Amino acid sequence: MTHSSRFSHRPVTSTVVLLGALALVTAGGCSPGERHPRRDDAGRTALTFWNGFTGPDGVTMTHMVDEFQRENPDVVVNMQFIPWSTYYNKLTLSMAYGGEPDVFVVQSTHFAQYASCGVLRPLADAYASGARPLTKVDFAAQPWQQSFYYGKQYGLPLDIWPMGLYYNAKLFRDAGIVDSHGSAKPPTTAEEFLVDAQKLTVIDPGQSQPRQWGFAFTDLHYNWLTIAEQFGGGMVTADGRRGAMSSPGSLAATRLMCDMIGKYHVAPRPAQVNSWLLFREGKIAMTIQGIYMLADLQKQQGLEYAGAPVPTLGPVQSTMGGSHMLCEPAGASPERAKAAWRLMRFLTDHSYEWAAGGQVAARSDVLRSEPFAKLPVQSEFAREVTYVQYEPQVPKGPSLSQFVDPAIESCLDGLQSPEDAMRDADRRIDQLLSRD
């Protein structure tokens, strides 16, 4: 999964418009009818599988699908990797006008959109099938909960992608921020974080700007959500009906982020630098990013990076995250649905392989396993699983980014006060959520 280094890559308005059209099509009884079996020339059941794994995660998924086909010679899987920037538009069009895949990935941020349109097949029968049915105990709590929409289960969680702290172990050692064994010691509290960030910010004599920053914001959307959650804030109210950007918790989080730049001088303004690139180059000591960026760091030669839970910067220990959900389309024939579930079940049963490629597993048995504990960054980020939070299940949720993200950027770049920017964002969010 490849994310922008500053904002989530999620398509916004066009996908919402297409989903509105899809809702009209399905309401009018014009949705694609029950799909019948397709077979290749050898008589095998042919399944199509769409996802957005265009980076190293695609290589891992290819190996897993190849293994599935070796163990299931009666099934052939035609897998398509589609960039996330165009993925949902293509998926929505296929559902509205035909040609939808048999198995497809929906990120948890988009899950409510599709579930609310009635285009996902309920999976209760699939979960209960087989020699060993899958139940609540097989999954971490948050991805299991997120696989439901209004009481019906439509998704099979493939993973968890929490935000965590990446830090440069060498820079920590050079600054003397070490434990009793001389190893880099990441911060766990707001006080430790600010003290460490100040020690790690280095300004050469005669220079006005640091040559090394203690911290930097990367994905502003999830950086802000993570810190806002720790202060009891967020994008929308608990019922999902109104904006909450100007709530006391959201404002407290925004002010702290602004203070990291203007008061403590430990982070650059987002507009000034390519933060993720500088972290990879060893010029930034700490950043908050998702586990999905691990593969990018693994390609960086000579970088002594490590991972840890996000420090508790507010009153509540929390971090933001999400999951890739495996889904089937509504209207699939029983035979196709059964074959599709075989693939989905195989992928979840091989969650360790997926996790080893740079993810945190959603399956509880993998999270408790010794091999997973030996994955240095994944196992550290997995310590957050018990308190990770997902974006609210609001059908219009992804479209909120067009108001949320510019407000955050405007504050951190010093263009607006937190109060003005967040109040304006709430006004726009309220307008959007009030529309039918």
Cα–Cα nearest to 322, from 163, 152, 149: 163
Q: Which whole number is the average pLDDT over 22-33? A: 49
Contact between residue 229 and residue 238 where contact means Cβ atoms under 8 Å apart: no
One-letter amino acid of 269: R
Cα–Cα nearest to 409, from 271, 301, 272: 271
pLDDT tens string 280-297:
999 999 999 999 999 999
Q: Residue 219: what pLDDT?
A: 94
Burial-class residue 375 by CB neighbours within 10 Å (0-12, 13-18, 19+): buried
Q: Which whole number is the average pLDDT over 98-116? A: 95
3 band by pLDDT with thresholds 50, 70 and 90? very low
Dihedral (Cα; 400, 401, 406, 412), 10-degree rounding: 110
Residues 101-123 as b or e (16 or more Cβ within 10 Å = b): bbbbbbbbbbbbbbbbbebbbbb
Crossing angle of helices 220-230/401-412, nearest 10°? 80
- Domain ranges in the chain are 13-161+322-390, 163-321+396-434
- pTM for the full predicted model: 0.92
Q: How far apart are CA 305 and CA 367, in angstroms?
A: 22
Domain 13-161+322-390 and domain 163-321+396-434 have a common topology = yes
Q: Which whole number is the average pLDDT over 383-410? A: 94
Residues 6+ apart with CB under 8 A from 30: none
CATH code of 13-161+322-390, in short, is: 3.40.190.10
Q: Residue 117: what pLDDT?
A: 93
Contact between residue 113 and residue 397 where contact means Cβ atoms under 8 Å apart: yes
39 band by pLDDT with thresholds 50, 70 and 90? confident
| Superfamily the domain 163-321+396-434 falls into | Periplasmic binding protein-like II (3.40.190.10)
11 band by pLDDT with thresholds 50, 70 and 90? very low
Q: Which whole number is the average pLDDT over 17-22? A: 58
Question: Where would I find the H helices in 231-307?
Answer: 248-262, 275-280, 294-298
